[in-house]
Chains A and B, each alone.
Chain A
Amino acid sequence: MSYTFQWRPVLRSLPEMLWGASVTLEIAIMAMSVGTALAILLALAKRSNLKILSRLAGIWIEVARNTPALFQIYWIYFGLGSLGIGIEPYSALVFGITFNNAGYLAETFRGGFSAVPEAQIRAARSLGMGAVPTLWHIVLPQMLRVTFPALTNQMVWSILMTSLGAVVGLTSDLTGVTQQLNVVTYRTFEYFFVSACLYYVMSKICTIFARLLAWRLFRY
């Protein structure tokens, strides 16, 4: 192998890359929280008796699950751009991952909702609780407990998905920063290796944090 590794420039630009990692986390957390809220609405809409509502939710879920995430980001970035809605790579990425997260999580939540016994809902309603309080106090806590592992996976998943921003020209997230540095220095392997390590650390921290959170929230 006639290749000389040069790690020093990479170490020198580590602060920049860490800053990029914080942007990555920011995007992932945003997309995940909005995506979870949307997914709950989608799962409810899918179960609703209003045909049009459940049809629309079904289309969202199936498109999100049956096309590539990169395609969804492209569609938002280039497609909406051509309609005259100018959109930055950053927001295109956030919207794209949110759309994707919502679709995948809605399918998970649909299973989670059926895990909550129907009798509990009837009991809550007969005690005089309204539909929304029943959902909020009875159904959602149990549903989220059942689907918590899937939520954790999806969070890791959205951290990894943020790397797609570089393809539509985002330069502020970890992959974007790495790509910028790579274009300037041509130390492709070194820069992307360090960025791979940072992604690994981020997803491990996320998993460990989720495990601690689950232990804190769900123990009896």
Chain B
Amino acid sequence: MFFDSSLSWNDILFLLDGAIVTIAITLASVALGTILGVLFGLVRAGALWWISWPLGGALDIFRSVPLLIQLVLFNSFNSMFRLHWSPYVIACICLGIYTAAFCTELVRSGVLAVPPATRRAARSLGMSWWQEVVSITLPMATRIVFPSWIGLSLGVMKDTSLVLWIGIIELLRSSQIITSRVQEPLLILTITGLIYFLMSFPIARLGAHLERRWQIQ
């Protein structure tokens, strides 16, 4: 079909299947990472130092060790503890914790950017701690960190390519499988790159746009 090569529509569909796996793993791990990240971030920003520092140190480990190594270690728990989890579960948990490690620092910086006077004012109006966090701090912090959060999510999307190491057929792995049949690595890898680019670039642009627009106010 393409340039007289033996690449067929089925191959393209196979690549798109891989892209769907990539997106699914991304969504699951970003969701897990964001929930954990907001919780940990609130703790990091608000708790006493003897809770906040050890948590920060522990999460720092996940940012200082290659994701590939983390995936292999998580995967080895499977046989060590006889968990029989599927690679997808392992990939999502591992990437989710990895995301949480970055998201925590984002949320922390966002929460700390909310003026303390605003928070105290909310409390003195009679709001409980929880009410204040949900309706004052988090909305304001969200506005501050949302562009960076988009960047983080796109980073996770790109990092999902590493899960091919533990045997998941996502976009990059499926491109390799097709390459082994069609024998045209350059063409197939370029198409793969284009798919990644189309998944990432528009959202990256949106993030940059929001960052500019929200900066002015």
Contacts of B196 in A (CB 8 A): 66-68, 71
CA distance A196 to B65 in the complex (A): 6
Q: Main SS of the interface on chain B?
A: helix
Task: Kindly state whether residue A1 has any CB partner on chain B within 8 Å.
Answer: yes
Task: Kindly state whether residue B59 has any CB partner on chain A within 8 Å.
Answer: no
The residue from A78, A81, A167, A199 contacting B65, defined by CB atoms under 8 A apart: A199
Closest to A164 in B: B68
The residue from A83, A166, A192 contacting B186, defined by CB atoms under 8 A apart: A83
Q: In the complex, how many angstroms separate the beta carbon of B137 from the nearest chain A beta carbon?
A: 26
Contacts of A70 in B (CB 8 A): 161-162, 172
Contacts of B158 in A (CB 8 A): 66-69, 71
The residue from B70, B159, B197 contacting A63, defined by CB atoms under 8 A apart: B197
| Cβ A62 vs Cβ B201 within 8 A | yes
| Cβ B67 vs Cβ A71 within 8 A | no
CA distance A166 to B158 in the complex (A): 18
CA distance A196 to B69 in the complex (A): 6
Closest to B164 in A: A167
Chain B positions 32 through 70: 1 when the CB is less than 8 Å from some CB of chain A, otherwise 0 = 000000000000000000000000000001001111111
The residue from B80, B164, B186 contacting A189, defined by CB atoms under 8 A apart: B80
Q: Main SS of the interface on chain A?
A: helix
CA distance A175 to B72 in the complex (A): 11
| Cβ A196 vs Cβ B70 within 8 A | yes
Contacts of A74 in B (CB 8 A): 172, 176, 189
| Cβ B185 vs Cβ A78 within 8 A | yes
Contacts of B70 in A (CB 8 A): 196
The residue from B75, B76, B159, B185 contacting A81, defined by CB atoms under 8 A apart: B185
Question: Which of B76, B77, B79, B160 lies at the interface centre, i.e. has the most chain A CB atoms within 10 A of its CB?
Answer: B76
A70-B162, A71-B196, A78-B185 given; A192·B66 CB < 8 A: no
Contacts of A164 in B (CB 8 A): 66, 68, 162
Task: Kindly state whether residue A209 has any CB partner on chain B within 8 Å.
Answer: no
Task: Kindly state whether residue B104 has any CB partner on chain A within 8 Å.
Answer: no
| Cβ B161 vs Cβ A160 within 8 A | no
Chain A positions 134 through 174: 1 when the CB is less than 8 Å from some CB of chain B, otherwise 0 = 00000000000000000000001000111110110000000
Task: Kindly state whether residue B179 has any CB partner on chain A within 8 Å.
Answer: yes
Chain A positions 168 through 210: 1 when the CB is less than 8 Å from some CB of chain B, otherwise 0 = 0000000100100000000011001101100110011000000
Task: Kindly state whether residue B116 has any CB partner on chain A within 8 Å.
Answer: no
CA distance A203 to B67 in the complex (A): 14
CA distance A74 to B161 in the complex (A): 11
Closest to A159 in B: B66
Chain A positions 82 through 106: 1 when the CB is less than 8 Å from some CB of chain B, otherwise 0 = 1100000000000000000000000
* A-B contacts, 25 listed (Cβ < 8 Å): A66-B154, A66-B200, A67-B200, A68-B161, A71-B189, A71-B193, A71-B196, A78-B189, A79-B185, A83-B186, A156-B64, A160-B64, A160-B65, A162-B66, A163-B67, A164-B66, A164-B68, A164-B162, A167-B164, A188-B79, A192-B69, A196-B70, A196-B73, A199-B66, A203-B65
6 A-B pairs with the lowest CB-CB distances in the bound complex, closest first = A163-B66, A68-B158, A68-B161, A66-B200, A78-B185, A203-B64
